[in-house]
Amino acid sequence: MNVFLDTEFTDFLDPSLISLGLASEYGEDFYAEVPYPDHVCSAFVREAVVPLLRQIPHSYYSRPNLHLEIIKWLEIVRRDKEDVYICVDYQTDWDLFCDALDYRVPPWCQYKLVDKEIVELMLYDFFNHSKLPEHHALYDAQANRHAYRAPFPR
């Protein structure tokens, strides 16, 4: 089972998690925002990411509770004890996911880099039709789910 992950974070040099979105291939979604050090946010994050925060009810979590909420959600959407492939298009997303889980990633969760399988035209299609803004962790995860095209087996 594929679960698409996207994160928003403070800056590229020393990233701290701001928000995390998960979108399963079956249609279930999870979104979380956490406390973050505002003073280290890049100008881009202040302009593009911060204005999109606090718009989804019941999505603000303390850092200690985030680990439990993510694992609980993954266990609910996981079917028949299948492995869960956490699909990312950027390495930092996986790094921040591991950090959010306090580096206790369940053995049934596997890393999967899918940047080459995300079709740019389909990303455009998603945002054009949904009218949702980019640079929001949940919407970007949903867009990647929409734009993912698995490679053909050889």
136: Cβ contacts below 8 Å, ≥ 6 apart: 8, 19, 21, 49, 52
**Does a structural domain hold residue 131?**
yes
**Does a structural domain hold residue 152?**
no
The pair phi, psi for residue 85, each rounded to 5°, is -100, 115
**Does a structural domain hold residue 154?**
no
Rounded CA-CA distance 77/33 in Å is 20
Q: What is the pLDDT of residues 104-140, one digit of tens each?
A: 999 999 999 999 999 999 999 999 999 999 999 999 9
Tell which residue, 60, 71, 1, 14, has the closest CA to residue 41: 14
Domain range for residue 137? Answer: 2-147
User: Looking at residue 146, what is its pLDDT?
Assistant: 98
The domain total for the chain is 1
**Does a structural domain hold residue 47?**
yes
User: Looking at residue 154, what is its pLDDT?
Assistant: 65
Identify the CATH number of the domain in which residue 97 sits: 3.30.420.10
All residue ranges of the chain with pLDDT < 70 are 154
**Does a structural domain hold residue 108?**
yes
**Does a structural domain hold residue 153?**
no
**Does a structural domain hold residue 140?**
yes
